[in-house]
Amino acid sequence: MPELIVKIKSKNGQLVVDSLSGESSIMQLKQHVATWMNTLSDNISLMMGYPPKALDDDTKTLSAVGIKSGETLIAQERVSPAAVGGMQLGSSSVPSKDDSSRSSKHHIQSESFNGGLLMRQVVPADNSCLFTSFGFVLNGKVDTSCGSHMRKIIAESVAADPELYNEAILGKPNKEYCDWIRKSDSWGGAIELSVLTHFYAIEIDVVDTINAVINRFGEDMSYPFRCS
């Protein structure tokens, strides 16, 4: 039996790593993720926890940073300027027949792998279900306690920018709204999601399963992550 099962979420989808132990290093985990994402381990940034924090020390063991079996991490690929420059220079050249064949084959595999799967996760139907749902896609588990933390983030963000979040936008005076959203019986909606998408720098896509409509928040910001 493996000592650890770690789930990795990224733009590629989800990866399950089950061949490491608590004594394995962050770098060893990055190497698995890099192979999966078809890049170099040095280009991989891993984040864990809530709010997500970067795992910067590659020499530390998984157990040392608090990674337990079943943990869900977020992986992001960093593209260096040199790599971007190389792609731009290469785009003007004409690929050979062999290169075209390999590129086409890789493209087909990538499309097949990145097809994705939309799953519905049931969370408690209380006044904080929106925040619980967002917390689930961030850390992979249903935690009803995350609502109070998100309410605090929203209240502080709104209070810090009364010009943007004015009475016309909020439907009530700025201070009154901040007091209201902190209450556990206040429902979240579009305003709250727009604040969270900017705070976490993540595009949030809300799926209306009844009407088959997707409402996107932060779509125009080119954030590196998207959650639904």
Confidence at 225, pLDDT banded by 50, 70, 90: confident
Terminal Cα distance for the chain, rounded = 32
Question: Domain 6-80: which CATH class?
Answer: alpha beta
pTM of the model: 0.49
Evaluate the CA torsion angle 85, 88, 94, 99 in order and state its sign: positive
Is the pLDDT at 179 greater than 50? The verdict is: yes
Report the distance separating Cα 149 and Cα 153, nearest Å: 6
Q: What is the pLDDT of residue 87?
A: 38
Segment among 72-76, 155-159, 163-167 with least mean pLDDT:
72-76
Q: What is the pLDDT of residue 113?
A: 42
User: Would you list the domain boundaries of the chain?
Assistant: 6-80, 129-227
pLDDT in tens, 98-107: 444 443 333 3
Q: Give Dmax (Cα) for the chain.
A: 66
Task: Please give the CATH architecture assigned to the domain spanning 129-227.
Answer: Alpha-Beta Complex (3.90)
Q: What angle do CA 32, 38, 39 make, to 5 degrees?
A: 85
